[in-house]
Each structure stands twice: as C-alpha cells, then as structure tokens.
Structure 1
Amino acid sequence: MNCQFCGQELPENAKFCFKCRRQIICMNCGERLIEGASICVFCGNEISIPNNNIEQNHIKYKETKTLKSFEATFSNETAGAVAKTFAQFLPLKKNIIGDTKEIFHDTQIEDVEDITPAKALLPVKQEELADKNPNINDIFKVRGDNDIYLHETSLKANSKVDYAGRLTILYLFYMQSNGTTEVPKTEVIAFLKKIGFNNDGNYRGWMSKMKALYNINNNCYCLCRAGEERAKEYLKDIFDGDKVDNWKLGDTSKGNYRSNNKANNIPKNSYSIEGSLNLNPSDNESLKSFIGKFKASNGFQYNLLFAYYLQKVIGKTNINANHIYTCYKNVGVKIPNNLYQSLVDTKNKKGWIDTSDMNNITVTISGENCVEQDLKK
C-alpha cells in the first residue's frame, strides 16, 4: 500500500503517512481519500488539509547575567498569542508590538535586561529604585538576611517625637518603594525600638495627628499619596545643606530649643514667607478656597483656620509662625501687629491651638470643633 499523496510505501492498515503527515483514510467510512478533496467523496466527512508551507518563526532569549536562555519556534498564525504572552516579560520597544507577524521572525534577542516571569514577582532592585525615588536608598540599607537598618541618621528633625514621626513615614515610603505597600504596625514599632524609640504617648499623638498621611488596613500601615509627598519633602530636608538639624539621634533632650512656652527659633516680630509652602496644591483644596467657606472676622479665627488648613487639609507638620504669616499673605488678610502674641493669645484665651512648641503649632479638639461646627458660613 502506497500513500496516494507522496507515494511512500505504508502498511496495509495505515491511516496516516509518516512522510508527508497526511491522512490517507477517511476516519468515518474507512475509504481512501482523494488528493485535493476537502471532504470524503464517499461519506461527505470533512477533511482538514495541513499546510506544509507554513512559515516558521524562531525566537531566542538569552539572560546574560544568569546564563539562562530559551528558544521557541512557531508559525505566523500563533505569533500574536506568543507576542502577547512574552511582551510582558521581554524589554521590547512599544512601537514594534503592532505587527506581531514581524516581531519574532528570525529574531534573536541577546544582552537584554534580566526580567523573567519568576523575577517579575520579586521586589524591585535597589539600583532600579535610585531613579524612581532618588535618595531613599541612601537613608536605609540592608545587611545580612534582609536586616534593614537606618544608614543616614540626620533626618533634620525639630524634636525627638518629630524624628520618630519622620522616621516612620520614611520607613513606610522605603518599604512601599520596594514593593511592600502594607507594613504591619508591629513591624514598624519593632523597627523604631531597634533605633531607640518607644511607642509612647508622644509618638502615638504624632501619628494620630498625621492620619492624613496613611491608612490602616488589617492592622497594617499603608502610605497614601499625601504620605508619599511628605516623605519626599523629608528627603529634600535631609539633603538640604542649609536645613538645620535641631534634634539628632542620641540627643537626650526632647529638642534643641528652649522648653518654656515662649520657645521659638524665629524672632517674635520678624517673619518671612515660606517659599516651599504650597497653598494651592493640585491634588487638594487651595487655602483661598478653604477660607472662603468660613466667616472669620478676627485674628484668633484666622490663626485657627490657617493652622487647621495646614495640619488637617494638606497634612503639614512642624507648623511655625512663618507658615501662619505666609497664609496671611496668601489670602490678603491684615496681619496682627504682633503675630507671635496673637498666636499665644489664641491658645490662652480661646484654647483653639497649642503653641507650647512654637515650632510645632497644632490644632486642639476645641479648635477642631470650632472650625467644623461654629465658623462655617
């Protein structure tokens, strides 16, 4: 018995030809097939005719760092599916993805970036992070078996609690940059304790005030966009040679400023505009828009509203008299003749703000109630 298509000699009961790979017998009725027919002329059963002229394509992927490689051969008809599968792993240029039939034809890809399906699930490499988040990997380093430690200890903090707070936000930012978006609270507390900080009332109070910077999911901290921006501000402070480091790791005092109620590094009647203070953020309400919602008529009320906006709306920390002065200038309201005393009186006479540390003015519960319940138009 010979194959009717190529003439190859076959066993008498053969149904396929091993040389041309053609079906020679109808699987339905058992009669021999006729060359060129798409159906069996005896029973009408449809026959699939193979295309022996299918163009074969070849791809070779070589990982020069690990010495791993793979090869694949496929037809034009399947090239689209292959392209979609490997495009997420191979560093191909976007402008060549359109014509999938041409991408892989006789193509050899060598000396490419080491991105494989297995490594796609691993944390981002530190050298890759340097471009994405400049300087964050100069603050924290890793040694041994994933032991993260504080490498740069000068965080340009104003006090001990400010240092602990900055360290927390920077640590969360570092973890997020390395692919860990949710960090257990216990892990954060353990890291702080390793540096020398306890989870005391002052620290918890700072974190409570900074709730606009993070969320808590399943007892884990998750840095939000405001927190990311704050971390970047801290990074700028750290690498700003003109920024004063008021509290350093190892100091026994709570801060390098006097602890009496009139403590302030700014002259009482000399103020300047804080150029870095953004009072018209693209991702939040502007100060002018915020003030327009309230019926303020005196310095006490404006002091409160400015402090509330800075702390509660845009998440500003370490608010001082210069920040309040900048707010007055921004909205065009008459500035009290003695701004320092006006701020102190807002605390002593109204109880709306806390000025015990003039480098960290905060809004009290009484002040929050006044803004949210009494001053609205």
Structure 2
Amino acid sequence: MNKKALPAILSRIKKLAVPKPLPILLERQDELTARLDDLQRRHAAESEALRQAQADLRTARAVEIQTTETARARRCGALEKNDDGHLTPDAESECARRVAEVPELQEARLSLRRAQSRVDESEVRLKAIADEHEAVDRERYALKDACEGATLDELIALQNRLAAARAEVSSLTERLDTLNAVPVAALPDLTATDAALAAALAKVELGEAEPGILPALERQRETAIQAHDLAKAEQARAELLRQGLASRLNAATAEAERLKAGHKLALAWHLEAELNRTANAYRETAERLFDLRGRLIGMGRVLQYRVDHDAGRRLGIERPTYDSALGACLVVPDASLPALAGMDSLQDNRRFREAAHEAELNRLRQAGVEV
C-alpha cells in the first residue's frame, strides 16, 4: 500500500465522528467489506507467491553451493595447502579469484540474487496488504459510532426495502418457474420432406417422372424450412428470456441478501446504542438505589437497636437478600412500607430475565421491527 494511503484512511475515520445517515453508512459498509474481501484474496495469492519464491530461493542457494564446490574442486585442487589440508591464505585468495571466473557459478550467483530479490519484494507487498487490511477494517469498525445507533424509523425504512426486494425475488422466481415448466417444443423434422424431394429429383433426372412434380415438393420443403427456422428462433428467444430472468433473479437475490445483512447490522447498531444508553441510566439508578438502601438499613438499625426494637424488626429491612427457591442471584429487597410496594418483583432471577427479554422483543415488534 502506498504510504499516503494509510493517513487518508485514518482521515476518513476521523470524519466519521460526524453522524451520517444510515443508508450512507451501510453503503460504505458494503464498500469496505468488498475491499476487505479483495485484500484477503490478494493476501492469499501473495502468500502463495511468497512460499513459491522462498522455495525457489532454497533451490537457487543449493545450486550455488553445489556449483561453488564443483568449481573449487576443479580450479583449486593443485593450490598450496597447510599441514591440516586447508588452503593457505594466499592460495584461498587465488582460489576465490579463479572460482569467480567460472561462468556457471556466475550464473548461479545471479540466480540466487534474483531469487532473494523476489522474496524481499513479495514480503514488502504482503506487509503492505496486511497494513491496508488493518486500516480498512478499523474504518469499517468505526462506522457504527458514526450513526450513533440506527433509529427505529431508519430500521423500518430499511425493512421496507428488504420486503420489496424479497417480493421481487419471489415474483422473478415464480416467472422463471413458470417458464421452465413449459416443455421445449420439438423442431419440425425435415427428414421426410428432404427424402421426398430427393427421390423426385432422382426420378426426373433418370427420366422416370416429369419435372412438373418438383415445384409442389420444393414448396413443401421451403414451408418446412421456414417452420423449422421459426421454431428454432422461438427456442432461442425462450432461452434468452430464461437467461435474462435468471440474471435478474440473481441480482435481486444478491440485493435482498445485501439488505438483509444491512438490516441485521443496523439492528445490531441500534441495540448496542440502546444498551449503552440504558446501561448509563441503569448504573445511575443502581447507585442511587444502593444509596437509598443504605439509608433504609441505617435508619432501620437506629430504630431497631436504639429507639424501638419491635417497631424496627417489624419493618423487615434486613431480611435475607437471597431466595434459594427462586434461584435469584441479585435481589433488590423490599420492606413493609407503602412506598416500596411491589419491590419484591425486582429480582435478577430466571423469571426476571425471561420477562426482560420478552419486553425488549415486544418493544421492537410494536415499533414494527422484525426480529
């Protein structure tokens, strides 16, 4: 990837900080996804090219070593050696000079340099592809923050487009099925007509019949040929129509799948945004709740242990907060005070979670969102 490309991508990510309409973001999502798919294909192809280049490099290195050994054996065998059998320093220098002049070794070393260059270039390209993939993936991930969560109206609009696309797929499928159900008409057979005319021509030629029998047979053959050509043209037209409908169906199906993926993604963005907003309110409420819970406990203890033991005990403020029968992991305790009536329902147990799940589903369904 060009070094200027990464800053450009990072700049686009910064621009996403400004909220954008959902359709624009989904279109950009499709573009980036297609770009990532292309980069993955290029990465796979370049990885394979690198493996091949590395294999070629190993082969070139082995050839260079073998050629060097052969050249040394032929050119340096008679040079002066030390007592240990190795060449003296001066002899080693002379051997290197002689070996360097061997054409086969020069070619082997050139091939080795070229093989190493191909490996280096492939590694550079592979890293550039990986860097670009990371940058594009980062930009795609930032898209959900740019829309601040899809609104219900946007989800409905997208859902309506998806319904229209599915209706088109259904209509095209029905038309194509109807066309395919029609049997292909057989082409008129010219064999009998040709045979009759051929026999008549032979008789006329041999003097067995008058030429007057030929015009009628020729007209019959011409009519048969026209019928054959017309039927063949109709077959070709029907096949072209079938191909056209199939092409439209493929395009409509792809569009429906794209919108389906977009709707799913937009719904995920909506839910994530709602979760974040709800989580903030939940935390504030929980902190406030525990502040008040602490005050209840404190005042109850003062009442029970310092003022009126029986009155404080009757309030039940410090009753156990775990109900083994309900299997509750978290319970917001209630107390025998009118203002806290119904607080016993605030328990993070199985029934609570099922009800919360159903409530969220109902919220989306009542808004018209399919889930």
Question: Which category describes the TM-score, using the shorter chain as reference length?
Answer: under 0.3
Task: Give the alignment's TM-score, normalised by structure 1.
Answer: 0.18
Which one scores higher on RCO, CA 8 angstroms, separation ≥ 6? 2
Question: Rg bigger for which structure?
Answer: 2
Specify which structure has the higher proportion of helix. 2
